[in-house]
Chains A and B, each alone.
Chain A
Amino acid sequence: MSASAEATILITHAVGLHARPSVKFTKLAKSFAADIEIALAANGPWFDAKSIVKVMAAKAPKGTLLHIRASGDDAGDAVEALVDLVRRDFDEGADHARSA
């Protein structure tokens, strides 16, 4: 049986869905069988969430409402996991504590 799921989540990461967050986002997306896409607007354009080239090309800055949709057996889990990753700010932040 094929299922589908979708969600929207606000990107709060300082510079948005950028290089390192994109690596994590696409790696996580690829761990699911479902087809997953992202968009910056409800009516698209939609980008393949498993391709870092496409995800980077979406150029989603901080403050973007990210739309995620999936279809396939584990669609629900996939959307939930990706939303959670964005909510956790991709488990990263200011890695560079510079000088005093």
Chain B
Amino acid sequence: MPAPLRLQGIPASAGYAEGPLFDIDRPPAAYAGKASSEEERTSLQAAIGKAVSRLVAMVEASDSDAAGILEFHIAMLEDDALSGPAFAAINSGLPADLAWRQALDAEIAGYTASEQDYFRARATDLLDIRDQVLRALTDDGGGAAPIGAILYGEDIAPTRFLETDWSAGGGIALKAGSAASHVAMLARSRGVPMVVGLVDPPAAPAGIALLDAEHGSIVLAPSATETGSFREALSAFAGRQVNARTFLAQPAKTRAGTAVRVQVNIAYPDDVDGIDIATCDGVGLMRTEFLFGKTLPDEETQYRAYRKVLEWAGAKPVTIRTVDAGGDKPVPGFTVEEGNPFLGLRGIRLSLTRLDIFRVQIRALLRAAVHGNLKVMFPMIAMAEEYARAAALFAEEQAGLVARGVAQLMPPLGIMVEVPSVAIAPEAFAGVAFLSIGSNDLTQYVMAAARDNAAVTHLNSVLHPAVLRLIGSVAVFGREHGIAVSLCGDAGGDPASIPALIEAGLRDLSVAPAQLAMAKAAISEVPV
């Protein structure tokens, strides 16, 4: 019996899993060679066909992001230019598996050698494609992990995640990986526990392991004592989840009875379809970048999207953020390419340079305002002049609509507090209607740690005294000047951060819909 070994990593999707380790880097089973080249060709053809049909089945069960990746894999597999060299190699005497591997490795080398990050990253897709066919060739059931297993390895391919049966538990523990990866997002939405960036991992451990993706660790070869306390933590976590559901229908308040407003963050108008408005206090952040995803949206498209959410919310407030493109959210035909996009032309800075686009959004918002309780906020404000310019544009567009006899209403105009200059010197903003703290950006700018970089995750904490002190002083400024202050970053829905945020003086949090219940439950434990 090997000694227990605890590895530390970074939590990417909260939860607990106890189960057998499954090595996802394990090479496919040995291929049984055929008697003739003719049979080898048939065997490879069939394996490619099998891989394609597996992918087609996965596309049907996927969201549009995942489907985009899968359709790329399908198109590559269906292209004779990919398999051509492999069939040629079979004709010259190689077995199907070796021929396919050599052909794909040559293709992969071309991507690995690219000077462009994007194309170099596609090598992962080619590896995924190579292994899907190799697994189909050796017929080892796609290398499917046993139900309830903890998938362990370097990194995980999206197809691997999508083809795994998560219905009976299981989890993911990765040596590399990132909490910002596409698979991490899928894991969070499906409630699959996941830890990334394991420190000093052994190559290919086996046996039962304990994955704690709430705190970010895994125990290999656990002792009976460790298993016992792990199961207690697991059932406490499950209990908190069940318990949280009972809080969902209640207004949130702390143990001392202090009321805390809990609103939701949404990205798409359709997000509200799955939410009962009675369970939240409104929409604290509606992003509008989605509208700008494909092409620049016209006024009517935007108006309809805003109106839908306002009508859903009824009398409860809906805070819509003007387009926050740039940074990690490029929009073709709108954003500019920059060396350091997080510090460049993004959010309100970009909108104020592209008035043709900004004015369309402003008109759509003014018109939608008559259909509910709208508030509008500007992202990435650093100086009061930016707010003044944006507010002046609202007044100009309102005058235009009035002149044309179009129904409209001026909403209260507020700002995001995410650039440290605003949090440090809020007195310049005494005239705004409300302040909404964007804790993700505020934290990354205060700590100088990119939020999508796993190597600096340890620095990116809202609980650092520097960040908490800024949040506290913004809350004080708001109280003294009668300006409402809320918070709409990820920290608002994180049970570990909520006590500190309430203690810092916040009484208004906006969280992802999936975190609503847990956030309310966590608030109820806060003593203040």
Q: Across the interface, do A12 and B333 meet the contact criterion of CB distance under 8 Å?
A: yes
Q: Across the interface, do A54 and B292 meet the contact criterion of CB distance under 8 Å?
A: no
The closest CB in chain A to the CB of B510 belongs to A100
Q: How far is the CB of B284 from chain A (nearest CB, A)?
A: 9
Q: Mark B278-321, 1 if CB is under 8 A from A, else 0.
A: 00000001010110111100000000000000000000000000
Contacts of A91 in B (CB 8 A): 294-295
- Among the stretches A33-41, A45-53, A72-80, the one at the interface with B is A45-53
Q: Across the interface, do B293 and A61 meet the contact criterion of CB distance under 8 Å?
A: no
The closest CB in chain B to the CB of A95 belongs to B293
Q: Across the interface, do B75 and A52 meet the contact criterion of CB distance under 8 Å?
A: yes
A91 to B325, CA, bound (A): 17
Q: Across the interface, do A94 and B293 meet the contact criterion of CB distance under 8 Å?
A: yes
Q: Across the interface, do A61 and B116 meet the contact criterion of CB distance under 8 Å?
A: yes
A6 contacts the other chain (CB 8 A): no
Q: Across the interface, do A97 and B441 meet the contact criterion of CB distance under 8 Å?
A: no
Q: Which of B314-356 contact A (CB under 8 A)?
A: 325, 328-333, 335, 337
Q: Mark A11-51, 1 if CB is under 8 A from B, else 0.
A: 01111101110110011000000000000000000001001
Contacts of A99 in B (CB 8 A): 440, 451, 489-490
A37 to B114, CA, bound (A): 22
Contacts of B440 in A (CB 8 A): 99-100
A56 contacts the other chain (CB 8 A): yes
The closest CB in chain A to the CB of B65 belongs to A95
A22 to B76, CA, bound (A): 10
Select B289's contact among A20, A22, A27, A97, beta carbons within 8 Å: A97
Contact-residue bracket for chain A: 20 to 34
Q: Across the interface, do A20 and B79 meet the contact criterion of CB distance under 8 Å?
A: no
Q: Across the interface, do A97 and B72 meet the contact criterion of CB distance under 8 Å?
A: no
Q: How far is the CB of A21 from chain B (nearest CB, A)?
A: 10
Q: Across the interface, do B116 and A59 meet the contact criterion of CB distance under 8 Å?
A: yes
The closest CB in chain A to the CB of B107 belongs to A53
Q: Across the interface, do A23 and B332 meet the contact criterion of CB distance under 8 Å?
A: no
A20 to B122, CA, bound (A): 11
Q: How far is the CB of B306 from chain A (nearest CB, A)?
A: 16
Q: Which of B375-393 contact A (CB under 8 A)?
A: none
Q: Which of A74-100 contact B (CB under 8 A)?
A: 88-89, 91-100
Contacts of B110 in A (CB 8 A): 57
The closest CB in chain B to the CB of A16 belongs to B118
Q: Across the interface, do A97 and B293 meet the contact criterion of CB distance under 8 Å?
A: yes
Contacts of B122 in A (CB 8 A): 18-19, 56
The closest CB in chain B to the CB of A51 belongs to B81
A94 to B337, CA, bound (A): 13
Q: Across the interface, do B71 and A93 meet the contact criterion of CB distance under 8 Å?
A: no
Contacts of A57 in B (CB 8 A): 110
Contacts of B64 in A (CB 8 A): 95
Q: Across the interface, do A53 and B295 meet the contact criterion of CB distance under 8 Å?
A: no
The closest CB in chain A to the CB of B439 belongs to A100
The closest CB in chain A to the CB of B441 belongs to A100
Q: Across the interface, do A94 and B330 meet the contact criterion of CB distance under 8 Å?
A: yes
Q: Across the interface, do B293 and A18 meet the contact criterion of CB distance under 8 Å?
A: no
A96 to B114, CA, bound (A): 25
A92 to B295, CA, bound (A): 7
Contacts of B180 in A (CB 8 A): 98
Q: Across the interface, do A15 and B294 meet the contact criterion of CB distance under 8 Å?
A: no
A7 to B5, CA, bound (A): 62
Q: Across the interface, do A93 and B331 meet the contact criterion of CB distance under 8 Å?
A: yes
Supposing A56-B122, A93-B293 touch, asked if A98 and B329 sit within 8 A by C-beta, the answer is: yes
A61 to B122, CA, bound (A): 13
The closest CB in chain B to the CB of A61 belongs to B116
In this complex, the member of B329, B441, B489 whose beta carbon has the largest number of chain A beta carbons within 10 angstroms is B329
B448 contacts the other chain (CB 8 A): no
The closest CB in chain A to the CB of B265 belongs to A100
Q: Across the interface, do A53 and B81 meet the contact criterion of CB distance under 8 Å?
A: yes
A27 to B328, CA, bound (A): 29
Q: Across the interface, do B72 and A53 meet the contact criterion of CB distance under 8 Å?
A: no
In this complex, the member of A12, A53, A54, A88 whose beta carbon has the largest number of chain B beta carbons within 10 angstroms is A53
Contacts of A51 in B (CB 8 A): 79-81
Q: How far is the CB of B104 from chain A (nearest CB, A)?
A: 11
Supposing A94-B292, A96-B329, A100-B441 touch, asked if A54 and B72 sit within 8 A by C-beta, the answer is: no
A98 to B179, CA, bound (A): 12
* 8 other A-B residue contacts (CB within 8 Å) besides A23-B72, A56-B119: A52-B75, A89-B333, A93-B333, A94-B331, A94-B332, A95-B65, A99-B490, A100-B265
B interface residue numbers (CB < 8 A to A): 64-65, 68-69, 71-72, 75-76, 79-82, 107, 110, 114, 116, 118-119, 122, 125, 180, 265, 267, 285, 287, 289-290, 292-295, 325, 328-333, 335, 337, 416, 418, 438-441, 451-452, 488-490
A interface residue numbers (CB < 8 A to B): 12-16, 18-20, 22-23, 26-27, 48, 51-54, 56-57, 59, 61-62, 88-89, 91-100
Q: Could you pull out 7 A-B pairs where Cβ atoms are within 8 angstroms?
A: A14-B337, A19-B69, A23-B68, A23-B75, A57-B110, A89-B333, A100-B489
